[in-house]
Structures are given as C-alpha cells and as structure tokens.
Amino acid sequence: MAFADKIYRKEEEEFVKSISKSLDVDEEELKKIENEIDRLGDFTGACRETAKRIQNKRDRDKTITLLSEMITKDKIVHQKELFAFQIIAEEWDMFVKQG
C-alpha cells in the first residue's frame, strides 16, 4: 500500500519497518521486498495475486487493519491507495457496490 502512489513517505517507511520487525523480517529482506515492489510493472495484478494468497480470516482482518492504518500514516489519502484497497476488498468479497 505504501508503494501504491509511488511515493514512499517517511511515516509510511517507519510504519513498514515496525510491522516488519514485529514479523521478524530483517532489514535486508525488507529492502529486497521494497525493490521487488518498486520494479513491478503491473501493480494491480500483483495486488490481486497477493490478496488471493491470504486465505485465513484472521490474517485478512489484520491485513485490512494495517492497510487502513498505512493509508492514513502520511495524513493524505491517495486515489491509487484507495484503488488498491478496493482491489483487495473485491478479491475477499468485502466490496459493497451501491445502487
């Protein structure tokens, strides 16, 4: 989510580092993941694929909570972040269309 708008702000970076630390992901592995995400050509497809891999409801709930927090870390909500959130909600059948 921090990469959805292609701008990785300090607040987002600190949040990602704190999550990574709690999950025992070392800084070298985190950098590798960040570089991999940065090189993505199809962010939408990668977002869908990642969402599909998360099957456990507890993991999904935790993911949604963390993503919600991530979106607001820099006090700015970007359209691409909302789009990524929408993709995840669609994949997990959580998206409610109005009308």
pTM of the full predicted structure? Answer: 0.75
- Total tally of structural domains belonging to the chain: 1
Is 64 inside a domain boundary? yes
SS3 11: helix
43 band by pLDDT with thresholds 50, 70 and 90 = confident
Looking at residue 95, its pLDDT comes to: 75
Residue 27 is part of which domain span? Answer: 10-91
Q: 63-91: buried (b, 16+ CB within 10 Å) or exposed (e) per residue?
A: bbeebeebbebbeeeeeebeebbebbeeb
Is 96 inside a domain boundary? no
42 band by pLDDT with thresholds 50, 70 and 90 = confident
Is 57 inside a domain boundary? yes
Interval 74-83: pLDDT, tens: 788 888 888 8
